[in-house]
Amino acid sequence: MTAAAADKLAGSENCLPIGTRLADFEITGVLGEGGFGIVYMAFDHSLQRSVAIKEYMPGPLALRADDHSVTVRAERHQDTFDLGLKSFINEARFLAQFDHPSLVKVYRFWEQNQTAYTAMQYYEGRTIKDIVANSPEVVTEAWCMRVLRQILGALETLYTMQLLHRDVSPDNIIVQDNGDAVLLDFGSARQIIGDMTRGLTVILKPGYAPIEQYAGDASLPQGPFTDIYALAAVMYFAIIKEAPPTSIARMIKDPMTPLASRALEGFGEGFLCALDGALAVPAQERPQTIDAFRALLGIHEAGMPRARPAGATQRIATVDHVPRLAPLASAAPLAVQPAKIIKAPRPQFPRWAIAALLAGLLLPLALLYSLSGGDDVVMVVQQAPPAPVPAVIPETAPPVAAAAPAPDLEAQAWDKLKNAPDTKAAAIEVFLREYPQGRYLVPARKRLAELTVAASVAEPKPAAPKAETASYRLSIKPWGTVYVDGKERGVSPPLKKLTLSAGVHMVKVVNPGFPDHVTRIVVKQGAPGTIAHDFTATKK
């Protein structure tokens, strides 16, 4: 959706001709084509403005007819095409609920030509992929931090609706001419089609997809840490000018040199250590939440825009906030020693895990890329230094030479954390919040990264308790919001599975266009089941 891409005016034979009218919009050019969609530049005759229009056009499954309609290449593809179409519309419906400056703004969506369209805000700018190719000199630590700050806010907004992006890449983030970053669509139709047609293609972007995205089941769960890996990989690409090695290649013998071990002029070691931590191959060794990644980067939330969709009150289940602890008590001043950098060992996967992935869970790769095409609040929270406590001198006391200087609370707190053998990661996070721009910022970030890795490696895995739950597969058509015992659990699709405790539950599925579907289920320990409902088969 960039102005530079407007040179591709006509596009391929699969594109609509210039001058085609779609509702109130007139096609004026082609901005980009991908395996599963086309983005056009268009003029809105109703509101007299330029917009970007995305068309659902899965090239592997469909082609353009003479009347501009989209038809499947073979009858066997119809069900897959239809499911992808519904997912495309669902994505537009979700994005239309948000008004976040770093999330693509959807104006409207509709069906026409036997396919679907989304009208979006037209952004003047370039993708990170284009910036690295043509203007690499703009990539500095400050530039990266600004992009990270804004995209992390966008991802966190998606998580309020229990949605993972799963498609963060250099061609899916646009940096506008004013420097603000925008996260584009998250290709849910591509992912749905990939799930449906494993024999046809799997939609992953090598270098940016973490290891858990190569597994087709719950053996390697996905969460915010999945998007965090991809975003860190985008920063790696911006700095090094090439994508990281694929996560599959990194499993056995990691060929990637950590960023902090390179002599990268202009980039602080603490910043690079934070990216290295987010690029850990085992998911459990990465920051698990947006807040945890912010803490590693030294990003503080004050002043950041927080868009919330109406009625959204529930976070994604895997997003936890860093616990807030009481400030550390001051200790006696100690001599400040330079922090010793301990290089974390490269992650080693158990042989059985590698064998399982390579033997059965890996999905065949096909490099089909998706089509991608507020004022920036950059606030540094500075805490005022503690005011010195005036000495209380009795009137009758003889004069003294000078009051003792105020204790250096920051140095005392850091010395206590640095030297204590039982220092926890949460305590380091508290220190970073107390002194966000302090003298010990870099060693504190390094220490936090070391503790995060050490905790996941050293702590023994607790024995799995006996299952007192059961897994229920969801099959909701076309979509619906799922409630269990009155509590919202998410929207299906994309939600595919519920884990329910043993006992009796009332399940309600809501789609505003149809009557509610309510059912009573009895969950037996360890016995899986299915909750299925097709709203289109119900007369309103």
Known binding residues for ATP are: 54
Token couple for 179: 């420097």
Torsion of CA 95, 100, 104, 110, to 10 degrees: 30
Six-digit token string for 363: 């999905």
Rg (CA), the chain: 26
Following DSSP, what letter does each residue of 385-409 receive, concatenated? PPPPPPP---TTSPP-S-PPPPP-H
Report the distance separating Cα 477 and Cα 457, nearest Å: 42
ω into 465 cis (within 30 of 0): no
Q: Which amino acid makes up residue 93? A: R
Count, residues in the chain = 540
* CA–CA distance, 54 with 39 (Å, rounded to integer): 4
Q: How far apart are the first and last CA of the chain?
A: 39
Check the CA dihedral 384-386-390-392 and report its sign. positive
Return all residues near 341 (Cβ < 8 A) that are at least 6 apart.
Answer: 269, 446
* CB-based burial label for 438 (10 Å; 0-12, 13-18, 19+): middle
- Report phi then psi at 322, rounded to 5: -65, 125
Determine contact, residues 487/481, Cβ cutoff 8 Å.
Answer: no
Whole-number Å distance between alpha carbons of 176 and 151: 13
Structure-token match 């919009």, residue found: 25
What whole-number distance in Å separates Cα of residue 463 and Cα of residue 166? 30
The structure tokens 């010990």 sit at 440
Find where tokens 């600004």 sit. Answer: 146
Instruction: Specify whether the CB–CB gap between 507 and 450 falls below 8 A.
Output: no
Give the whole-angstrom CA distance, residue 512 versus residue 209: 35
- H helices of 203-349, in order, are 224-240, 249-252, 269-278, 290-297
Closest C-alpha among 32, 33, 52 to residue 42: 52
What sign does the CA torsion over 393, 398, 402, 407 have? Answer: negative
For 61, the 3-state DSSP assignment is coil
Sequence letter at residue 500: L
CB 208 within 8 A of CB 375: no
Q: Show binding-site residues.
A: 54
Whole-angstrom distance, CA of residue 28 vs CA of residue 409: 62
Residue 381, both tokens: 């929270």
